[in-house]
Copies of this chain bind each other. A is one copy, B any other.
Amino acid sequence: MRKTDLSGASCPIARSLSDIGDWWSLLIVRDALSGMTRFSEFQRSLGCARNILSARLAKLVERDVLTVAPASDGSAYTEYRLTEKGKTLRVPLVALRQWGEDHLFDAAEERLSLVDKRDGLPVARLELRAHDGRTLSPDDVETRNRSDART
């Protein structure tokens, strides 16, 4: 099954999905971003089967999203920590979170929300901007083939 391998696609979205584009992987990263490090923490939080948690963690380590640290609190157990690459998944996750809050919750419904520690207020909506800071509407952009020279 899943013979389709997107890791060589020319679309960055497709490649991203081949790394972290399944159900559990993104939730693992979400939990890791909130400070979880241990197998059992993830397992309790996600409630998924342990073998698949195990497989997902291994894949995320292989893809350099997580690393296994030998220990940290003295115990001989291993910890899973986000790499720099993994930490930058925060933005996509926030985008997904905001979308979900906007469209999938009743106004009065309880939700987990991302807030500024300083004042406890929710973070601002993510916005699409031009390189010079102008806000861009959906019609102002298009996808194009570029060979680099990112500014």
Contact = CB atoms under 8 A, between A and B. Distances in A.
Interface of A: 4, 7, 10-17, 19, 21-23, 26-27, 30, 33-34, 47-48, 85, 87-105, 107-124, 126-133, 136, 138, 140-148, 150-151
Contact of A148 (B47, B108, B143): B108
Given A12-B112, A91-B126, 7 more contacts: A10-B111, A16-B99, A88-B102, A109-B148, A110-B146, A114-B143, A119-B131
Contacts of A13: 26-27, 30, 93, 96-97, 100
Contact of A10 (B33, B112, B148): B112
Nearest to A103: B85
A43 to B, nearest CB: 13
A133 B126 CA distance: 11
| 4 closest Cβ pairs, A-B complex | A12-B100, A16-B100, A92-B95, A95-B95
A124 B117 contact: no
A100 B15 contact: yes
Contacts of A15: 100, 104-105
